[in-house]
A and B are shown apart, each in its own frame.
Chain A
Amino acid sequence: MNHNSVGDFGGVGKQVPVVSSSLRPDPLRELREWGGERLVRGKRVLDLGCGDGRFALGVASLASRVDGIDPDPEAIAAARKNARESGVRNVRFRVGAAQQLPYSEAAFDVVILSWTL
C-alpha cells in the first residue's frame, strides 16, 4: 500500500459515514497534485462549494485570505464551527449560490471548485 496515498487521512474510511468530506483527499495533497503551494501562497482564494470548509481551512495558512461559499446553511454552520475550533482567522464562510456570487469584481486571485462542478 502506498503510504503517501493513504496516510493523510489514515483509516478514516473505516469509521465515518459515506457523505463526508473527510473521505476526500487531504487539501495539501490535492494542492501538491495541482502544482504546489505557490498556487495559493499569499493569494486571495475563493473555495466555491466549500461544504464544511475542508479545503478552505486546509489551505488558509498559505493564503492571504480564504472565502468559502456554499448553498447549504448546515454546511456553512459546520465550516464556521470548524474554523473556530481550529483557530483559523483569515477564513470567512457564507451561504450563497455560485450563480450569483456576493463578491465584487476581481475580488480573488484563485477560485477553487474542489469536487463541486
Chain B
Amino acid sequence: MVHALREVRRVLAPGGILIDARPDSRVLAHAERGAQRFGNLSTNRTELANDRWADRAVAQVVLEKLFKRKRHGRFWHRIPFDSLAALRQYLSEHLRFVHRAQWVVNAATRRRYANEDFVIRRAVRYEILEVRPMRPGKLRSEA
C-alpha cells in the first residue's frame, strides 16, 4: 500500500490532492427500521486488519513528507431493503461485515416487523491529502 501511495505522489502535479474514502470500520454499522435500531453490524477481522494496514500506509507517507493531511470527515451511507430477510441475505454474502447482526431487539419484535422496510446505515470516512513539494536533491526513486 505504501508503494502505491508513493506512485500516487509521483503522478500528482504540485498542489495536487489525494482523496482516500472507505468504509469506516472503527464505527459500528446498524440495521434499522425507521428510526429504530434493530441490530449492530461489525466488520470482519480480515477487513479490520486491512483497514489498519491502510491507515498505517497513509501515516507512513505523511511521515515521509510526501503528503500533508488537509481535511477529514465521515458521513453515513444507507442501503435500503424491503424486508428483514433481504437484509439478512445481504449480510450473509457480504465481504466486509460479519455475516450475522448482533440484534438489540428480541426475536418477537424482529418477527413482528420482518416484512417492513429496513436500512443498513454505515459510516464512510474520507481524508484529503495534499502533495508536499519534493525536497531539492531528493531522488525520484525515493519518492
Contacts and interface: CB of A to CB of B under 8 A. Distances in A.
Decide whether A and B are members of one complex. yes
Interface of A: 1-2, 5-6, 9-14, 17-19, 23-25, 30, 33-35, 39, 44, 46, 48, 98-101, 103-117
B59 interface: no
A66 to B, nearest CB: 13
A34 B15 CA distance: 17
Interface stretch (B2-10, B38-46, B100-108): B2-10
Given A1-B119, A18-B93, A108 B4 contact: no
A5 B76 contact: yes
B126 to A, nearest CB: 5
Interface string B86-124: 100010011100000000000000000000010110001
A13 B80 contact: yes
B139 interface: no
Contacts of B18: 110-113
Given A6-B78, A35-B128, A114 B19 contact: yes
A23 B13 contact: no
A117 B16 contact: no
A114 B125 CA distance: 10
B53 to A, nearest CB: 9
A34 B78 contact: no
A111 to B, nearest CB: 5
Contacts of A115: 21-23
B77 interface: yes
Given A14-B82, A39-B17, A117 B77 contact: no
A63 B41 CA distance: 36
B79 interface: yes
B101 to A, nearest CB: 15
Contacts of B77: 5, 24-25
A106 B8 CA distance: 9
B42 to A, nearest CB: 17
Given A1-B119, A13-B80, A19-B93, 13 more contacts: A13-B86, A13-B120, A14-B82, A19-B95, A25-B124, A39-B128, A46-B11, A99-B7, A101-B7, A101-B10, A101-B11, A110-B16, A110-B17
Interface string B23-61: 100000000001000000000000000000010011000
Q: Which A-B residue pairs are the 9 nearest by beta carbons?
A: A98-B4, A117-B54, A13-B79, A106-B13, A18-B93, A33-B75, A5-B78, A6-B78, A103-B11
